[in-house]
Copies of this chain bind each other. A is one copy, B any other.
């Protein structure tokens, strides 16, 4: 099924999401950067779970009716989305089950459990099946990490806030993984100010979204190939729904090299005083290393998350 124009999330959906999630997510500021020309950061790494994902998860849970809330929700995303759903579920009194591969690190399992979710460990290949079983057996609602209008609308609140704080912004730079954040932000920004450029950023070694946009269909790269980027949050393919949003609203995609991503993680720590994960630093990497490919003017880079591997973080200040 291909998404059509009437299926796309609209500005009003994002405004409604903003009203719903207010008080449950952090209203992050825009941070001016004296160390880069006309650059502001939107530090979503400061959300309590360390990533923008809390916005979409909170909006999606709010949209459930009372019976659905009672039965609870399930996801088979074991990263930031799983933790976001766990955190939002606890805040709203909705049971949350996260189906995780049994090879997950103890750190990730503990973090998800720590937010109050039920963690179900299964072999990697059985994740989707087990999630569907929980839907059938317990009447739970499946909340996907990005392929859902309520998720996209929630992430789009990042775009609303950018515009509230810097109404004369010229360029918004946002990382593209599954496309939930970029779809929402592009939708909000283009509806508010069509002349503002919205630029997506992908690792060059995982540029499936750029290829999908050029082809007009979702292109899925082999999992093994996607593993070659350090930006683990940007290894996921687009969905039909996010591709439709990006086709309608995104101006371009810029790709960044792996060493540029790691450099941006360092600069964000040393100059921006922010701990960012590689996926979270990708937009900043594009500004630092590919400014010539971006439109000129007042630029906002979204720092989408800060859940960095401690072993990688240890190298931030030592090299």
Residues of A within 8 A of B (CB): 26-34, 43, 45-46, 48-50, 87, 114-115, 269-270, 273-276, 306, 310-311, 313-314, 316-318
Contacts and interface: CB of A to CB of B under 8 A. Distances in A.
**How many identical chains are in the complex?**
2
Nearest to A318: B314
Contacts of A33: 48
A155 to B, nearest CB: 18
B26 A48 contact: no
Nearest to A50: B273
B87 A34 contact: yes
A318 B317 CA distance: 10
B29 A48 contact: no
A32 B43 contact: no
A313 B317 contact: yes
B46 A32 contact: no
B31 A48 contact: yes
Contact of A43 (B46, B50, B306): B46
B275 A115 contact: no
18 contacts: A26-B32, A29-B29, A29-B46, A31-B48, A34-B48, A34-B49, A34-B115, A43-B46, A45-B273, A46-B274, A269-B313, A273-B274, A274-B274, A313-B317, A314-B316, A314-B317, A316-B317, A317-B317
